[in-house]
Amino acid sequence: MPRNRTVRLAVLGSSVQKAAASGYPSNRSSALRRRLIVGGLVLASLVLITVSFRSSALDGVQGTAADAVRPFEIAANRVARPFRDAAGWAHGLVKAKSENAKYRREIAALQQQNLLDEQAIQENVQLQQQTHFQGPPSVKAFGRVGTQVLTNPQNAIDQTVTIAAGSASGLAADDVVVAPNGALVGTIDKVWSHVARVVLLTDEESSVTATDLTSPSAVGEVHVGSGSDSELVFDRVPKSEYVGVGDTIITSGNLGKGSLPSMYPRGVLVGTVTSESDTDVNPFKTIQVQPAVNFSSLQTVIVLVPPR
């Protein structure tokens, strides 16, 4: 720009520069295109959230898509299994020596306990027959569907697992799910034809009525503790009841008041009491329970199917 420019020149220069600035159609159009694409994707996500959360309109599509992904998940599990087994074997080998002596002592104690238990079971059966006892359904009354876990919880918020069996195998919502060792895992939340979603006992909205095996009158409610996704709390147990550390907690399977019986059968293992205390301000005991199952690494589960 010449130093001795006139006002007219300056104005012209300005207008020329503006024209030049508007001469980047590609930049502007690409910015517009970028914003449109991202805006569209965000809008699509919000629509999906709204529809998926408020209605079951997308359940069919989601179930079909999940069915399509299922073979890949099963294949990935199968590929990973030898490595997982090898890691488990190596880990077990390190601990095996120290655990050997401990388990030998436990076996001796359990053999004695087993004899007493068998006598008690026989007496129990005889007494039930004599009194025509009508109690809650036991685990034996339920059918069993064993299935593979497809996905475990993906983060601290997610307390669900997906399993590779669905309504085609006879499963329905609210069916109880246990681990291969018989310990309670959770309940089925949603069912598709070949997959289902299980809400774990560690979900904030899950709870189960339970009792102490050695002190059956101590009935309360087991739910997840605050601040941890692996520790359970045995709540609402009156202070007058005795619950000791090391006691086994099982589902109580209450019959309820007629129309609302517990959906859990009696006698499903929940966990072991790790601590017990009383406080003056709480009318109930403070009892912590270590679950009998590792919720974060489930590989197979058993669904208890009630007789329908």
Partner 1 sequence: MDGLKAAVILFVAALLQLSVLGQYAPFRTGSLVLVVLLALALLRGSVFGAVAGFGIGLLLDTATLGTLGITSLLLTVAGFWIGRYGETTARDRFHAPYLSVAVVTVLFAFGQLVLQFVLGEPAPAGLVAHGLPVALVFNLVLTLPVYALVRRLFPAPEIGDRVREVRLLG
Among the residue ranges 9-17, 138-146, 189-197, 283-291, the one whose residues contact partner 1 (CB under 8 A)? 189-197
Among the residue ranges 98-106, 114-122, 202-210, 267-275, the one whose residues contact partner 1 (CB under 8 A)? 202-210
172 contributes a contact to partner 1 by CB under 8 A: no
Nearest approach, Cβ of residue 300 and partner 1 (Å): 12
Are residues 270 and 181 in contact, defined by beta-carbon separation less than 8 angstroms?
Answer: no
If the CB atoms of residues 59 and 278 are measured against partner 1, the closer one turns out to be: 59
Residues numbered 128-157 forming contacts with partner 1, rule: CB under 8 A: 150-157
If the CB atoms of residues 152 and 254 are measured against partner 1, the closer one turns out to be: 152
Residues numbered 247-306 forming contacts with partner 1, rule: CB under 8 A: 296-299
Contacts of 126 (CB under 8 A, 6+ apart): none
d(CA 169, CA 167): 5
Among 10, 11, 14, 23, binds partner 1 (CB under 8 A): 23
Give DSSP secondary structure letters for the chain: --TT--HHHHHHHHHHHHHHHTT-HHHHHHHHHHHHHHHHHHHHHHHHHHHHHH-STTHHHHHHHHHHHHHHHHHHHHHHHHHHHHHHHHHHHHHHHHHHHHHHHHHHHHHHHHHHHHHHHHHHHHHHHHHT---PPBGGGSEEEEEEEEE---SSS--EEEES--GGGT--TT-EEE-TTSBEEEEEEEE-SS-EEEEETTSTT-EEEEEESSSTT-EEEEEEPTT-SS-EEEES-BTTS---TT-EEEE-----SSS---SSPBT-EEEEEEEEE--SS-SB-EEEEEESS-GGG--EEEEEE---
Among 4, 26, 129, 181, binds partner 1 (CB under 8 A): 26
Among the residue ranges 105-113, 190-198, 242-250, 262-270, the one whose residues contact partner 1 (CB under 8 A)? 190-198
Among the residue ranges 62-70, 123-131, 209-217, 252-260, the one whose residues contact partner 1 (CB under 8 A)? 62-70
| Total chain residues near partner 1 (CB under 8 A) | 57
235 contributes a contact to partner 1 by CB under 8 A: no
Among 6, 131, 181, 226, binds partner 1 (CB under 8 A): 226
Among 132, 205, 257, 260, binds partner 1 (CB under 8 A): 205
80 contributes a contact to partner 1 by CB under 8 A: yes
Contact residues for partner 1, defined by CB under 8 A = 23-24, 26, 33-34, 37-38, 41-42, 44-53, 58, 62, 65-66, 69, 72-73, 76-77, 80, 84, 150-160, 162, 190, 192, 195, 197, 203-205, 226-229, 296-299
